[in-house]
Amino acid sequence: MDHSAYPRVVVEDIVRLRRRLDDGQIPPRRTDHNVLVATWNIQNFSDVHLDWTENAGSPKRNLRAMAIIAEVVRRFDIVAIQEVKRNTRAIRMLLDEFLGEHWGVLMSDVTAGDKGNSERLGYIYDRRRVTPSGLAGEIVLPPAPAGDPMEQFDRTPYIVGFHAANERFALLTAHIRYGSVPADRIAELRNLAVYTASEIRDRAQTDPAEEVNLIVLGDFNIDKRSGNPLFDAFVETGLWVPEAIREKKTTYGSEAKHYDQIAWFRDDFTLLSEGRAGVIDFTHAVFPEMALRAMAYRVSDHFPLWVEFLTDRSVEAMARTLGVDPADPDPFADIT
């Protein structure tokens, strides 16, 4: 959609939002240099009120909110989305009307049963920057040792492989059960940690056809990180959260939580990174006339979390030729 067609109030939102995005030090997307990966729980991403102004009825996402969501998404190459609902009108409109023909989407089916909350998991990606590798699937836990069926996830995690430049990686996104008792989430967190370590990680190490680099991301409903049994269960098999986002909260208000995570098994990981990562807090930048709770119904009650990975390995290659350490601050200092 053409920005010149946006009403003034929407353009003002976007101006303030772009300032906030720039202040967040998100690196620019550079061809053959980097890939920017994000995760975002977009609250109840389902239907859309087809007007720029407020619906006279109950609070509902409208075109103003969709323009804001698109402005965030287009800063990245791939965004894992949680809380896509059975009705996919919103996510399809986001691509068709706001992002454009260069963007694609992959979605899981709705997980059966009431616990699934009619939710899908999805990936929105820029086809000019990344390509699906062909790997895609929903995670089903194996039977228990005694042969009994294993209790499955309330919302089935979704894994998809991608290529960016010459790099290959897989993203596994999940939305762990919520509930009023945080301890009830530990079983799912532990099952996910064990499965990713014992099945996906081990298989990738022995089968060259698998994606070696696994990135686990999504909404894990972890209240806090330090000294928390939920976070301990998430990382107990070796998943590592980058330092730049380790203490970042991804919800707003006085009771803000560390619900969302991006993590990987660092010992096996070959994607390059300079540690750039962050969270986008858009509160008061968009819908500033509304209370935060009202704004969340239009945009989301979660903030996007992101990490940059490098796809340019030229420094490594030249360092090998010259017999120097590419990790040195200035490996080519002797070249005159």
Cα–Cα distance between 272 and 318 in angstroms, integer?
A: 16
pLDDT for the residue numbered 58: 61
Domains in the chain: boundaries: 3-311
Selected residue with higher pLDDT from 285 and 112 = 285
Q: How confident is the model at residue 232 (pLDDT cuts 50, 70, 90)?
A: very high
Lowest mean pLDDT among 11-15, 51-55, 158-162: 51-55
Residue 209 to residues 18, 206, 318, Cα–Cα distance (Å): 40, 9, 28
pLDDT for the residue numbered 59: 67
**CATH number 3.60.10.10 given to 3-311:** yes
Selected residue with higher pLDDT from 217 and 24 = 217
Cα–Cα distance between 18 and 103 in angstroms, integer?
A: 20
User: Smallest Cα–Cα separation from 189: which of 235, 238, 137, 248?
Assistant: 235
Q: Which residue type sits at 138?
A: E
What confidence tens digit (pLDDT) does each residue in 275-293 have?
A: 999 999 999 999 999 999 9
Is 333 buried (19+), middle (13-18) or exposed (0-12) by CB count in 10 A? Answer: exposed
Over range 5-32, report the average pLDDT. Answer: 93
* Residue corresponding to tokens 């239907």: 47
pLDDT for the residue numbered 224: 87
* Residue corresponding to tokens 């989407």: 105
Contacts of 336 (CB under 8 A, 6+ apart): none
Q: Which residue type sits at 238?
A: G
What confidence tens digit (pLDDT) does each residue in 59-104 have?
A: 689 999 999 999 999 999 999 999 999 999 999 999 999 999 999 9
**Long-range interactions of 52-60: CB distance < 8 A, separation 24+:** 52/6, 52/7, 52/9, 52/10, 53/7, 59/294, 59/297, 59/298, 60/297, 60/298
